[in-house]
Amino acid sequence: MDRLSCRESPIHRLDPRSKLITTLFFVATVISFNKHEISALVPFFIYPLILITLGNLPLKYFLRKILLVAPFALFIGIFNPLLDRDVLIQLGPVGISGGWVSFLSILIRFVLTVSAGLILIACTGFNAICMGLEKIGAPRIFAVQLLFLYRYLFVLIEETLRVVNAWALRSFQKRRVSIRVFGYLLGHLLLRTLDRAHRIQLAMFCRGFTGEIHVNRPAKIRRADVKFMLAWSAVFVFFRVYNLPKVIGALVTEIFL
């Protein structure tokens, strides 16, 4: 994601605040629909697809990322068909219950919101996103902590892999970890994390870190940024007010029938 954020494109050159505000408005608009809405959500796919195209981003990469976290959305909505069995849509002899409709709506919202967040990171960079959060009014301590969480999550994963590898070398090929050993491993990982955090803090102080987030691209709102926010906000409002697929379907039916 960080390598993708270093590319040059019209989307990458936009100010982080404009992309952040637009993405937040997009997410808020998508989740504002009722639980049984499906067709009205389809036009919102235009936003991530256009950004992927203009930003010269790999579509397959985002599809893999979405599939990686898809089980969370499946777990949230998998029980809807069991809880809501009232028939909502009748397709000939087949009746589709409201539970299946709401389950599909959850999946569509999940794909839209997660793809928008991933594209925001790929087109902006997480450092610039945190800086944008601070610029639009978020507390600095929140933005800095969010940046540290993202950056040093990989360090924590490396420390965890080292502890697991050390246990595997000393466990004589045991496949299961007992609760007692798991507690020892967790405590050891906590001690290693605290020690690593102290060394990182000293290194940051030695380099003059004062809590201010710096980015390579200068943060300055230009006319193109304002046009980007206003244009996409108007599109989102239009999609929210008018069910475009239903309107087009009604026009086609009126013309041909």
Cross-strand pairs, 89: 96
Q: Is 15 helix (H, G, I), strand (E, B) or coil?
A: coil
**Radius of gyration of the chain measured on its C-alpha atoms:** 23
Q: Within this chain, do residues 112 and 167 fall inside the same structural domain, yes or no?
A: no
Q: Does residue 150 lie within any of the structural domains? A: yes
Q: Within this chain, do residues 80 and 26 fall inside the same structural domain, yes or no?
A: yes
User: What does the angle CA 76 – CA 81 – CA 84 come to, to the nearest 5 degrees?
Assistant: 105
Q: Within this chain, do residues 39 and 114 fall inside the same structural domain, yes or no?
A: yes
Q: Which of 142, 148, 122 is nearest to 59 (CA)?
A: 122
Q: Within this chain, do residues 80 and 150 fall inside the same structural domain, yes or no?
A: no
State the pTM of this model: 0.80
* pLDDT, tens only, 23-72: 999 999 999 988 888 888 999 999 999 999 998 888 888 899 888 888 88
Residue 217: the pLDDT is 63
Residue 229: the pLDDT is 92
**pLDDT < 50 regions, the chain:** none
* Domain span including residue 183: 140-206
Q: How many CB atoms lie within 10 A of CB 218?
A: 6
Q: Within this chain, do residues 74 and 194 fall inside the same structural domain, yes or no?
A: no
Q: Does residue 135 lie within any of the structural domains? A: no
Residue 252: the pLDDT is 81
